[in-house]
Amino acid sequence: MSPSRAPVALIASALAVAACGSASPTPSPSASVTPTTRPAAGPFALLLTNQNRSGASYDVLLIDSSARVVARVTAKLPLIKAHQQLSLPLAYASSNGAYYLDGDAAIHLLGADGSKSLVKTIPQGASSLLGFAISPDSKSIAVSVITQQTDDTKTTGRGYVEDLRDSGGHAEIFNNTSQDAYRWPIAWYGGDIVDAVGSAPCHGDYGQASSGQPSAGITCATSLHVVDSASQNRVATMCEAPAASPTGTNVTWSLNGLVTPAGVACLQSLYMPTGDSSQPPPSTCTVAAVDLRGGHRNFQSGPCQSIPAAGCFLSPDGSRMACTSSSTQALGFLSSGGSFHSLGRKYTILGWIDSTHLMVGVDTTTLGVINADTGAETKLTVTAADQVQMLGVVGAAP
């Protein structure tokens, strides 16, 4: 397929899909609120509009915990590449602002004061998919360049780290082919890079949306690898199924929500086949928080049908998860002790702004910020709110 600025169309397959299509250009959905001119104090939710990539552009929004838009910019969508069956995140939330892809190769910075600047150009973006993450000190960038082919065994993926402002400090991290090519950075904490490791074809615009909820970079991921940026050695593995399950069992892991300083929410499913095809296998599910060193902390465990929460997002302090009720689909909060408190109201969970405030989708025209302690809701009118996605938090401590 020749490059075009068309949407990525999703096509069903046994694994997942995200293949390219075409559509008439339409305006990018954007917030109808004028950014505030008052000094802004973070942290800020980083949101992208136009999740289905319709037309030629998308908006980058920074929103504070009182549901105010403090900064906004419109950027060009990258071209759909030949043989593309995967979409990667277009922006990254860092300590000093939102870094976003404008077109195929140009990375710009949007500050909380509304300032905009070009910080780097990566020429390989003209023909390949780009994934990137910025170090907490804003001096380095981790880059993944994925070039898909019709024959997936010939797909290539290359990862490296270098100085953000130029090509100095360059260090290669990986150079892979076939399914191993699907690896891209989604977070950076201290000197460690968190890579999503996955496959294609793949569900989800922007390479995300686990368990029906938009979440940064992990729909296509089967696990996360934490890599030391200096030595290029892996220091932790998160939510990865064992190479071989214990005898008589089948163990699977699935990633949920955004990666936070406390780690990420993961769902482990343990199946024990009965040998009787007419009977479903007994199974146990565990909702766990997995930290950036691979340590597990179980929030709830039991028969899968008894687990009340799904699509969970771990809070930045690791004390609780925002989840969707398995029975009513209402928003609720799962404590580290296993209790689940439902608000009785349905939302689409977008992500935590801080350990108290949660960004949600209310309906097709409204976003909201929920105070997790009180249940109070502050609303924000946004055009095509159901096509908005959160990618992280600007101004949060690494």
246 or 162, greater pLDDT: 162
Domain, as residue range, for 101: 8-394
Residues found in the chain: 398
Q: What is the mean pLDDT of residues 104-108?
A: 98
Q: Indicate the pTM of the whole model.
A: 0.85
Q: How confident is the model at residue 117 (pLDDT cuts 50, 70, 90)?
A: very high
CB 78 within 8 Å of CB 125 = yes
What pLDDT, on a 0 to 100 scale, did the predictor assign at position 199?
A: 73
Torsion sign across C-alpha atoms 205, 207, 212, 215: negative
Q: How many separate domains does the chain show?
A: 1
Q: What one-character-per-residue DSSP string does 221-269 give? A: EEEEEEEETTT--EEEEES---SSPPTT-EEEEEEEEEEETTEEEEEEE
User: What is d(CA 263, CA 192) in angstroms, rounded to the nearest whole number?
Assistant: 13
Q: Rounded CA gap, 113 and 386, in Å?
A: 26
| pLDDT of amino acid 397 | 62
Average pLDDT over residues 364-386: 96
How confident is the model over 240-250, as pLDDT tens digits? 888 777 777 78
pLDDT bin (cut points 50, 70, 90) of residue 332 is very high
The reported pLDDT for the residue numbered 251 is: 86
3-state class of 205 per DSSP?
Answer: helix
Sheet containing 116-121: give its strands across: 91-94, 97-102, 106-110, 116-121
The structure tokens listed for 35 are 């950014």
Q: Which residues pair with 8 in a beta bridge?
A: 20
Given a contact cutoff of 8 angstroms between Cβ atoms, the answer to whether 219 and 16 are in contact is yes
Q: How confident is the model at residue 57 (pLDDT cuts 50, 70, 90)?
A: very high
pLDDT confidence of 277, banded at 50, 70, 90?
Answer: low
Q: Tokens 């979440």 map to which residue? A: 215
pLDDT band at 160 (very low <50, low <70, confident <90, very high): very high
Q: Is residue 65 included in any domain, yes or no?
A: yes
* Identity at 251, one-letter amino acid code: V
Strands of 320-325's sheet, edge to edge?
Answer: 309-314, 320-325, 331-335, 340-342
pLDDT band at 393 (very low <50, low <70, confident <90, very high): very high
Average pLDDT over residues 112-137: 96
Across 10-29, b (16+ Cβ under 10 Å) vs e yields beeeeebbbbbeeeeeeebb
Strand arrangement, sheet containing 296-303: 250-260, 263-271, 283-290, 296-303
User: Over the chain, what is the mean pLDDT?
Assistant: 84
Query: Which band of pLDDT confidence, cut at 50, 70 and 90, is reported for residue 218?
Result: low
pLDDT band at 222 (very low <50, low <70, confident <90, very high): confident
Alpha-carbon gap, residue 364 to 255, rounded angstroms: 26
Domain assignment of residue 131, yes or no? yes
Residue 280 CB neighbour total at 10 angstroms: 10
The reported pLDDT for the residue numbered 279 is: 65
Cα–Cα distance for residue pair 203/219, rounded to 1 Å: 7
Closest CA to 16 of 183, 207, 197, 186: 207
Tell me if 3 is assigned to some domain.
no
> What's the CATH code of the domain at 264?
2.130.10.10
170 burial level (CB within 10 Å; 0-12, 13-18, 19+): exposed
DSSP states of 70-125 as a string?
EEEEEEEPPPBPTT------SEEEETTEEEEEETTTEEEEE-TTS-EEEEEE-GGG
Q: Are 393 and 82 in contact (CB under 8 A)?
A: no
For residue 16, is pLDDT > 50?
no
Q: How confident is the model at residue 261 (pLDDT cuts 50, 70, 90)?
A: very high
Give the mean pLDDT of 129-146: 96
Q: Is residue 201 domain-resident?
A: yes
Query: Do the domain assignments include residue 1?
Result: no
